Structure 1
Amino acid sequence: ARAKMAAAKPTFTDSLSLCLAQLAAAAGEGLSGERDSATNETPLSRALFLLRTRHIKAAGGIERFRARGGLRPLLALLRQAAAAGPAPSQAGPGSAPSSDASAAASDPTPSSDSAPSGGSSAPSQPVRLRKTLDLALSILANCCTEGACRAEVRRLGGILPLVTIFQCVKTDSIQNRTARALGNLAMEPESCGDIHSAGAVPLLVESLTACQDSQCLQSVVRALRNLADSPQHRLALAQQGAVRPLAELLATAPDSSLTSALVRALLELSRGCSRACAEQLSLGGGLGPLVSLASHPKRAVREATILILANLCAQGLVRPALGNAGGVEVLLDELRRRRGPAGASPASQQPLVRAVCLLCREAINRARLRDAGGLELLMGLLRDPRASAWHPRVVAALVGFLYDTGALGRLQALGLVPLLAGQLCGEAGDEDEEGREAASWDFPEERTPERAEAGSFRSLRSWLVSEGYAAGPGEISPDWSPEHCPPPEPVEPVSPTPGPPSLRTPSTQRTPSTLRYIVVGRNPVTSPEEPWGREGPALLLLSRFSQAPDPSGALVTSPALCGLLAYVTGAPGPPNPRALRILARLTCNPACLEAFVRSYGAALLRAWLVLGVAPDDWPAPRARPTRRIQHRELGEMLLQNLSVQAESPFGVGALTHLLLSGSPEDRVACALTLPFICRKPSLWRRLLLDQGGLRVLLTALTRPAPHPLFLFFAADSLSCLQGLVSPTVSPALPPVRPLDLEPPSPCLYKPLLGPAPIPAPDLYFLLDSGLQLPAQRAAAATASPFFRALLCGSFAEAQMDLVPLRGLSPSAAWPILHHLHGCRGCGAALGPVPPPGHPLVGSEAEEALEAAGRFLLPGLEEELEEAVGRIYLGPHGGPESVGEVFRLGRPRLAAYCARWTLGPGQCPRKRALALVGLVEAAGEEAGPLTEALLAVVMGNELGTKVPA
């Protein structure tokens, strides 16, 4: 009973204060202490045991322990253990027994964390010290899970003792708890740097190969993972050999927990993967296990493994081996899954997109990628507007397939060409440079030791300096290669200097053949004077497509041509010459002629380059870079190339076939294009005039437009054809003087309106408004058969002095009365015509025209029509007035509108806007418009009077 009461009674070490007091006392006396005969353990062991199992684990226990100053004596104990030299260790699995541990092995007492029974002999001194160290390290590791304690431990200098203990004590339990404490401390950036400086990394790496305990290995692996908190620390870990043992352990991991820890550590170490990291992971045989773990049932392991594989792709030296291990298929499948309907966000796809693009740099991986459906996946990325930031990277990756005919054919069938054309003027996107180490491993970089400078290199360096390609010998190292040499600046011509025979060039050519850029991952072979901007990969692929025997199906299309022309005319600086060569190559290829006709390509070239009107500029103009002279010269050159093809025997046959036997759309396109590319009169007269091509074009004006710029093209084509038919005669309206400066003809009707009219009127016309207008019966009867029959015949009006004129307003009747009394050009015809901007249909001008026809006054009709033409189609009129005039439905006015529209001096934009207005005004009645335009183009009505 007394024994039970003694057991239930709390000892003096149960409270936190007494435990801390015992800890402080032990820190002053050392690790040894008197053993309590009742419990067979030292007071220090009892205090540490209670701290670990009761006080630290309680809610807020760690904070109270730190606030009461428990870390200082705890670290003092550990510092004493570290200063004592190699501590005795108990032989355990994977541990090398020390001399002290061998001595302790003779002691039959087992080493257990729990106190042995009272009947056992007391544990030996080394075993008791190991137990004390175990408890102290466990308490410290638990405390370091909180940030305030980590900062306090670092301030008290607790890192170095831990590193020393880890170096000296090789017992698994000690190593486990020490590594755990170091891993917790490494969660603070400052502590992480101190741990690196203390030399803990080599010790942790050594423990990976010496230790066999899974728990200890997990703690070491976690510590290494936390130490990889920055690019500099990751590089330091890789350079100190931390990656290879992790990779080797991955293949022999005894349990899933260790596997998970290894994968997490390798993921952290492979961020921004360095060359050393990739080399060690490959040499450690980690690629195969990683590929296998990509299908691990645990999601966290699976996703971390896939990210490791993606990170490794940044190093060219490991990509072939990664492909051999099956990494290409794994990354493609994962990217395909994430892009599926239930896939992840674009941010999670980014590392996989980057990895797949990097895999395209080696031929062996390109073959695997092509066979695994990677081309379709990359094309899907290019079509996805949400992936626009990655488009430049994807296009640069596709450059790797430049000489893979099968892959190029597949890409063309998938619609790559219009996507490439759209990339020429796109946004910058994700185009960051990968660096030298991401270069293609198909051409490994050869490094020359600095001390080995052969005579040939010295000769080359001397020649480069003398030619001005380098300022001095120090700028060129033996590792120099053309891919690292920037484009040489232009220098003044000098006489060639003796040098290597292969580099001698005439003085007029300053770029030796060896100073050409070489493909390193993305940059193709291109001369240094040729720019390589973000549009370079797309242009290179387009150039490759344009070299096919018949590139018309892919490149001579509206989207492709628009992309090329938008780049050529919209580039902030001089465009890449490759784009100009592509356009020249296409226009010189006979196989492309029909495609240029069908797609309105020739008309597009003329509108965009020669006239300066792009699809985006129509109908509202937009500001663009002004290099009109260069663009016009380029357009004329390209159209001349097409003319050469069109006037060849092959071209004549092709155009004749299109016009006579093609589809209705082809016939219209051919008729519209012929004036641009045919200059031989015999050819265009036969096709357009004799075989009806012109009428086909005119008939199509009022149909649905087959192209957004169709009416612009048609107006320009008709104008060009008019110039071909009548090159020396201008049917345009002659320049007119302002109306107020023209001397009017004398008015013969005005004397009848005064208070004393001479001669006196013998007749009055009564309007519906009640207004009475004086007139002379004889003059009215002489001017018009209508009035002669009305006023001098058998009608009742012949006997009336007040004759009613129905349906006439005063303004419409005014020019009629003037005309009846002999006025010609007195200005009365201008009265009923409203100013420009007002509708003519329903106006008093239309009323006057209708009345002139009703009263059989053709001269007045012509005068009124001339007045309408002068006001609406003169200097103050615009293209919007043309349709308004045409709506009056009078043939003479229709001819005026056609002549105003097709005048050779007319602005192309105004001409097209006028034709749009004419087509809208004509509606379904296309006959009058067709005949008017046909007459103007053919010059059949040049002798008619023009409003002037």
Structure 2
Amino acid sequence: TSSTRGEDTQDPGIQHRKRKGPLAPAALGSAKMAAAKPTPTDSLSFCLAQLTAAAGEGLGGGKDTATNETPLGRALLALRTRHVKAAGGIERFRARGGLRPLLALLRRAAAAGPALSQAGSGSTPSSVESAASSGPAPSPGPAPSAASSSPTPSPPARLRKTLDLALSILANCCTEGACRAEVRRLGGILPLVTILQCVKTDSIQNRTARALGNLAMEPESCGDIHSAGAVPLLVESLTACQDSQCLQSVVRALRNLADSPQHRLALAQQGAVRPLAELLATASDPALTLALVRALLELSRGCSRACAEQLSLGGGLGPLVSLASDSKRAVREATILTLANLCAQGLVRPALGNAGGVEVLLGELRRRRSLNGTSQASQQPLVRAVCLLCREAINRARLRDAGGLELLMGLLRDPRASAWHPRVVAALVGFLYDTGALGRLQALGLVPLLAGQLCGEPGDEEEEGREAASWDFPEERTPERAEAGSFRSLRSWLISEGYASPPGDPASSSLSPTSPRTPRTPRLPSGRSPTTATEEPWGREGPALLLLSRFSQAPNPSGVLVTGPALCGLLAYVTGSPGPPSPRALRILARLTCNPACLEAFVCSYGAALLRAWLVFGVAPDDWPTLRARPARRGEMLLQNLTVQAESPFGVGALTHLLLSGSPEDRVACALTLPFICRKPSLWRRLLLDQGGLRLLLSALTRPAPHPLFLFFAADSLSCLQGLVSPSGVSPALLPAVPLDLDPPSPCLYEPLLGPAPTPAPDLHFLLDSGLRLPAHRAASATASPFFRALLAGSFAEAQMDLVPLRGLSPSAAWPVLHHLHGCRGCGAALGPVPPPGQPLLGSEAEEALEAAGRFLLPGLEEELEEAVGRIHLGPQGGPESVGEVFRLGRPRLAAHCARWTLGPGQCPRKRALALVGLVEAAGEEAGPLTEALLAVVMGVELGGKGPSLDS
């Protein structure tokens, strides 16, 4: 909110008096000759010599009888109108040592101050009074002598004129930085302050203030001017002076003296703001008005209490609001930023709102946000001001009626304004008990935005003191803490208004912490004892949690809070906050799960499943399907709250209606949620089995997922249902994984045929495509299966052959076949063609062996091969990625193995869900085998046996 401290200004010089009518020819010729004739004052050396001499002799010097002027006066006039004004003239004047005698002359003038002040009571020569106090100087012309148009000036008047010229030269020189440093080194500030104190003539005050204003552009000089006591004298000039140009110089000097927070505070404490505000109310000169608003803008930066009080007492609020629509852009912008600065002080905000400041600031912020290319920096002071205006009830009403809620919501939705989001949320806390405003904010979509704020990155906080707190209860001031950031300041305001409890409050120290099942809520601010039990953490998420808590206290908050975005925001905060989360977040969740009106929303939004996944298993949507774990936090208690609601008469009716008459999506969500929140066998059996809930859930597995965690939820739901059907006394999450089969291998009956002297000797060999000959017994092979009995003992030619070809069979796939034909059961030969975990089963020798077992009508071998596949890929070494590979073999018994592995009681929830994902991908559009396998496992029956089916 800073403005430039102002440009350096030069004295415009003494102008010619305009003659009436044309010059006579003779006079014109004389003027031309005079102009062409060189004079001693054309020499800078001559002028400096006169200045040096006068500095030693005194202010008057001898009078030139021919021109009725002193040589010093002519030298000063030439220095001001010609030498200093010329290009590079100031630098030459300083380099030639002109500043030292000039300052010595001013010291003599300061010593003669009372006489000059008496002389100043008379009229001021128009040539001096017409000098401007700001702006660039016009090109000077030769000035006629004072004697040509006025009587001989008296010595005091001549001294005053000399001082006028010397001050004008000094002020012009101080437009250059090197001269400002030289003047300060030579001690030129104190004489100026003395002249300001002693000589109360408008022209002298004007030039002195202009010189001080130029000097104040150097920080070191600015401090010296403050130390010299110039501020009270400048303030006095504001009230005593009537000349507009003098007032502008004084106002500019005060503005330049406000170069730091300390100096701005000193100016306010010395009464510099009130006369500026009073002048603003009566000023008619546009230039003076601009100077005043620029000065008030500078003085109001980091607005102090003294500044705000004086500006209000001086009647400046109304004029500032009126000037916000001024035709000049510079006036408008300075005025609006001043109003924004004033909002930092709570004591002035109600009066500012009554004067129309709320509408002005809202309108300007709305205008700037609508312009393309407007920087965020230009909006920042207005955003801060509007947020601070939300701390008083009267201004909140004005802001609400002027469309401020929509504007604040627009800021919250704007990702470019993310640095201001915490401040905006803190401002909305002011509407905590404004039912109409809360309804409007809810309709505008505040709740999901608040939930998103809980785990956002912290923005840069601008420090605010306690003066920024609400002025609705000014008598309840809280002690200022060592650290007073914006959110800590807001917390102090909440304590003062009864929204929160102060630390160590005796009225609350004896209370016990609030139970999540019976949450307490803040009462209306009353100035009495606070309502919360103990002091809670109040971080940057405090305002958002307070608003969410207020929304959760509505009779039916399900429409805004029991939604995916809102629940995800709360759960992400509870599990992801760097420190201990605020208990208010868990109380919000407890209040929602205890509200019967929210039950249906928890079911339809997968809220109950989300609570179980996030708070019990530590699986968030963003974590899936990775394996990053989050801490578990009281999820069982929240689910128990939902169970109480679900098993009540109201809950039974709501769930039954939802399952039978809801939309297809809601029916699936209901079927999935029931195992989590229903523990009564009569209830879940009726809803899931008799009324088709389980059928709905299983049939939805291969459809597009309605939730990012749908398959995780489904796997967990089916596992819970299996636990309900076949209850065990041990928690499913604690049971270890058990391999499918760890029996020791049986003796091999085929191996004796492979030695050098087999007993009995083989009477048959099978010839493979690779040329390998495998020995066999015809009788044993013929009795092993109908296929080989027909092939080896029937009417086929192979019955007479000693070398029987077996087409389409590799040695690895043939190996378990030959073992099985000779009576081997469990000798380990079936493990040979099975690849290790991580390698595909489709196209492997294991699939070839299974196909051969089916082709050769060897069901026992099929079962043994399937058991081998399950032992290797679904055993301790196998993982969830193997489940889909096994299921792709398309064998019912292996599908049952996959379902058992997935829903097994000892399985990790993450692996279970990943396995179900693999099963769904492997099943593709053929969902029948998968649903049959899952149904059989859930209901505890063998696949193909009697039991419930999807059609029952």
Aligned to 2:20: none
On the 8 A contact 2:499/2:524 being kept in 1, the answer is no
Whole-angstrom CA distance in 2 between matches of 1:118 and 1:282: 52
Cα–Cα, structure 1 residues 860 and 542, in superposed 2: closer, same or farther, change >3 Å? Answer: same
Partner of 2:604: 598
Measured against aligned partners, the alpha-carbon deviations of 1:805-825 in whole angstroms (never above 9, x if no partner) come to 111111111111111111111
Matches within 5 A, 1:281-292: 281-292=311-322
Q: TM-score, normalised by structure 2?
A: 0.88
Deviates most, 145-154 or 865-874? 145-154
Mapped to 1, the partners of 2:35 and 2:343 lie a distance apart of: 65
Residue 546 of structure 1 corresponds to which residue in structure 2?
552
Indicate the residue corresponding to 2:54 in structure 1. 26
Find the aligned partners of 2:696 and 2:34 in 1 and give their Cα distance.
119
Cα distance in 2 for partners of 1:920, 1:150 equals 82
How far off its partner does 1:622 sit? 2.4
Residue 858 of structure 1, CA deviation: 0.1
Q: Which amino acid aligns with 1:48?
A: L
Q: In structure 1, what is the Cα distance between the partners aligned to 2:128 and 2:375?
A: 57
Does 2:146 correspond to 1:143?
A: no
Query: CA–CA distance in 1 between the matches of 2:784 and 2:536?
Result: 79
Q: Compute the displacement of 1:897 (Å).
A: 0.3
Measured at CA, do residues 601 and 518 of structure 1 come closer, stay the same or move farther in structure 2, by a change above 3 Å? closer
5+ residue gaps, structure 1, are 90-97, 449-479, 491-502
Within the alignment, does 1:533 sit opposite 2:563 as a pair? no
Aligned partner of residue 152 in structure 2, secondary structure: coil
Gaps of 5+ in 2: 1-28, 131-142, 479-494, 515-521, 946-952
Relative distance call for 1:400 and 1:658 in structure 2 (3 A) is same
Mark the CA change 1:436 to 1:845 in structure 2 (over 3 Å): closer, same or farther: same
- Partner SS for 1:619: coil
Report the 3-state secondary structure (helix = DSSP H, G, I; strand = E; otherwise coil) of the residue aligned with 1:13: helix
Aligned to 1:498: none
3-state SS of 2:41 partner: coil
Q: Which residues in structure 2 correspond to 1:494-893 (within 5 Å)?
A: 526-622=532-628, 624=630, 626=631, 628=632, 631=633, 634-728=634-728, 735-736=738-739, 743-893=744-894
Q: CA separation in 2, counterparts of 1:106 and 1:156?
A: 30
1:250 equivalent to 2:283? Answer: no
Is the partner of 1:620 in helix, strand or coil? Answer: coil
- Given that 1:518 and 1:524 are in contact with CA atoms closer than 8 Å, whether structure 2 keeps it comes out as no
The alignment status of 1:68 with 2:96, answered yes or no, reads: yes
Distance 1:910 1:428, change over 3 A: same
Contact 1:656 1:687 in 2 (8 A): yes
C-alpha separation in 2, matches of 1:886 and 1:733: 23
Letter in 2 for 1:666: D
Shift of 1:148: 1.0
Question: Which residue matches 1:460?
Answer: none
SS of equivalent residue, structure 1 residue 794: coil
1:914 paired with 2:942, answer no
* Structure 1 residue 530: Cα displacement: 2.3
Q: Is the 8 A contact 1:872 1:882 kept in 2?
A: yes
**Per-residue displacement from partner, 1:143-167 (whole Å, max 9, x unpaired)?**
0011111111111111111111112
**C-alpha contact 1:733 1:900 (8 A) present in aligned 2:** no
Structure 1 residue 566: Cα displacement: 1.5
* Structure 2 counterparts to residues 463-502 of structure 1, below 5 A: none
**TM-score scaled by structure 1?**
0.88
- Deviations along 1:271-325, one digit per CA (max 9) or x if unpaired, are 0011111111111111111111112222222111111010000111111111111
CA drift at 1:445: 2.6
Matched residue, 2:45? 17
Counterpart amino acid of residue 365 in structure 1: N
Query: Which of 128, 131, 144 is 2:158 aligned to?
Result: 128
CA distance in structure 2 between the partners assigned to 1:297 and 1:505 by the alignment? 57
Aligned-residue offset at 1:434: 2.2
The amino acid of 2:818's aligned partner reads L
Q: 1:400 to 1:660 in 2, by over 3 A?
A: same
2:331 to 293, 298, 301: 301
Is the Cα contact below 8 Å between 1:109 and 1:122 reproduced in 2?
A: no
Match of 2:106 in 1: 78
Partner of 2:224: 194
> CA–CA distance in 2 between the matches of 1:138 and 1:109?
13
Q: Is the contact made by 1:811 and 1:832 (CA closer than 8 Å) also made in structure 2?
A: yes
How far apart in 2 are the matches of 1:524 and 1:336?
A: 38
CA contact (8 A) 1:293 1:301 kept: yes
Which residue identity lines up with residue 617 of structure 1 in the other structure?
D
Partners of 1:616 and 1:622 within 8 A in 2: no
> Among 178, 186, 195, which residue is 2:208 paired with?
178
2:486 is aligned to none
Matched, 1:930 2:919: no
Whole-angstrom distance in 1 between the partners of 2:418 and 2:152:
74
Please give the alpha-carbon distance, in whole angstroms, between the structure 1 residues aligned to 2:126 and 2:666. Answer: 104
| Structure 2 residue matching 1:339: 3-state secondary structure | helix
The 1-side partners of 2:512 and 2:717 are apart by: 45
Please tell me whether the aligned partners of residues 82 and 161 of structure 1 are also in contact (alpha carbons under 8 angstroms).
yes
Once structures 1 and 2 are overlaid, which stretch shifts more, 780-789 or 798-807?
Answer: 798-807
Displacement of 1:714: 0.4
In the other structure, the counterpart of 1:331 is 361
**Aligned equivalents of 2:532 and 2:196: distance in 1?**
57
Q: What's the offset of the Cα at 1:862?
A: 0.2
Change in CA separation of 1:593 and 1:153 when aligned onto 2, cut-off 3 Å: same
Is 1:207 aligned to residue 237 of structure 2? yes
Deviations 1:435-457 (A, max 9, x none): 22112111123689xxxxxxxxx
Q: Following TM superposition, by how much is the alpha carbon of 1:508 offset from its aligned partner in structure 2, in angstroms?
A: 8.5
Q: Distance in 2 between matches of 1:4 and 1:877?
A: 113
Label 1:445 to 1:114 Cα distance change in 2 as closer, same or farther (>3 A).
Answer: farther
Determine the C-alpha separation between the residues in 1 that align with 2:810 and 2:724. Answer: 47
Q: Report the more deviating stretch, 689-698 or 430-439.
A: 430-439
Shift of residue 252 of structure 1? Answer: 2.1
Structure 1 residues 805 and 520: CA distance shift in structure 2, 3 A: farther
Alpha-carbon offset, residue 617 of structure 1: 2.2
Partner of 1:316, secondary structure, is: coil
8 Å contact kept, 1:586–1:592? yes
Say if 1:671 and 1:696, in contact at 8 Å, map to a contact too: yes
The answer to whether the 8 Å contact 1:390/1:431 transfers is no
The 10-residue stretch of structure 1 (191-200 or 23-32) with the greater mean CA deviation from structure 2: 191-200
SS of the equivalent of 1:764 reads: strand
Shift of 1:760: 2.0
* 1:822 to 1:616, Cα distance in 2 relative to 1, 3 A: same
Report if the CA contact (8 A) 2:497-2:525 is conserved: no
Asked if the contact 2:120–2:199 (Cα under 8 Å) also holds between the matched residues in 1, the reply is no
Deviation string 1:170-209 (CA, Å, 9 cap, x unpaired) is 2221111111000000001111111111111111111112
CA apart distance, 1:423: 1.3
The alignment partner of 2:701 has SS state of helix
Aligned to 1:573, what secondary structure does the other structure show?
A: coil
Which residue pairs with 2:187 in the alignment? Answer: 157
